[in-house]
Copies of this chain bind each other. A is one copy, B any other.
Amino acid sequence: MQQAIGVFDSGVGGLTVAREIMRQLPYESLVYFGDTARVPYGSKSKDTVIRYSKQIVRFLMTKNVKAIVVACNTASALALDELQDEFDIPIIGVIKPGAVAAAEATVSKNVGVIATEATVKSGSYNLCLRELDPQITVVSKACPLFVPLVEEGLLEDRITDDVIQRYLHELKDYQVDSLILGCTHYPLLRNAIGRYMGEEVNLINPAYETAKALKTLLEEKDILNRDVKTPALYAFFVSDGVDNFIKFADRVLPVDVKMTSLVNIESY
């Protein structure tokens, strides 16, 4: 089975998921699509995120992928069910793997979720956590300033610490012992968030959990690549700004990004 895995995100953030897949499944080829023209998804309506996600899946299917990972938390929360209904290919998102890890980690049964407005509003993490363990209480908080702060490079900064305190003090008051970083950009604030929340709080990165879940899925469907001699191939596609994408990708990925192509995603 030499077909690639399709991975998509609203922009560059999903590269953190691609990176985990590269690490945990080194023989799998990847086709990554970042919707850099229409980023962010976190403030958009459900209908729009579904329409955009379907266009992207149609594009990825032209690349003959064997499975698709929705690396974007917002798209996973708002569109995964519709994608699974419409397309005849295994598709997984990042919500369930993140929720499973949090449900396993929590002792106090108080779990925090930080995410975009759309993800929080969807209630997807809550639903998933309560299904896994009805005793869990979920406290969720939208943190719209985190993505722009990360994109400004203010990972360690007094302004960022101030914003973290503003957004997270309720979760701290609520004594959550596990906190899901429910947006692909948030793990980049891991140190600052960890410092504020305290080291007794488990920070859950859904990217890591999703790569594990993908491996299980490929094994179950028996579509894992068994050819360990041919090197995995990585192809990157974006809807805008190839140069900015490559700059970010080179910081995040363990491999050189040799080629990134521009796609007119609206036509799919």
By a beta-carbon cutoff of 8 Å, the part of chain A in contact with chain B is: 37-39, 43-45, 47-48, 144-145, 147-149, 151-152, 158-159, 162-163, 166, 239-241, 266
Q: A37-B38, A148-B145, A151-B144 are in contact. Are A44 and B159 (CB under 8 A)?
A: no
A44 CB contacts on chain B under 8 angstroms: 37, 240-241
- A237–B158 Cα distance when bound, in Å, is 40
Additional A-B contact list (5), CB under 8 Å, known A38-B38, A145-B148, A145-B149: A48-B239, A144-B151, A147-B148, A159-B162, A162-B162
A-B pairs, 6 with minimum CB distance: A148-B148, A266-B266, A48-B240, A45-B241, A37-B48, A159-B162
Contact A45 B152 (CB under 8 A): no
Residues of B within 8 A of A47 (CB): 240
Hey, which chain B residues are within 8 Å of A158, CB to CB?
162
* A241 surroundings in chain B (CB, below 8 A): 44-45, 48
Bound CA span A39–B40, Å? 8
20 contacts between A and B (CB under 8 A): A37-B38, A37-B44, A38-B38, A39-B43, A44-B241, A45-B241, A47-B240, A48-B240, A48-B241, A144-B148, A144-B151, A144-B152, A145-B145, A145-B148, A148-B148, A159-B159, A159-B162, A159-B163, A159-B166, A162-B162
Interchain CA distance A76-B151 in the complex, whole Å: 24
> Which residues in B have their C-beta under 8 angstroms from that of A39?
43
What residues on B are CB-neighbors of A145 within 8 Å? 145, 148-149, 152
Q: Residues of B contacting A147 with CB < 8 Å? A: 148
**Please, which residues of chain B bring their CB within 8 A of the CB of A48?**
37, 239-241
In the assembly, what is the distance between CA of A149 and CA of B159, in Å?
12
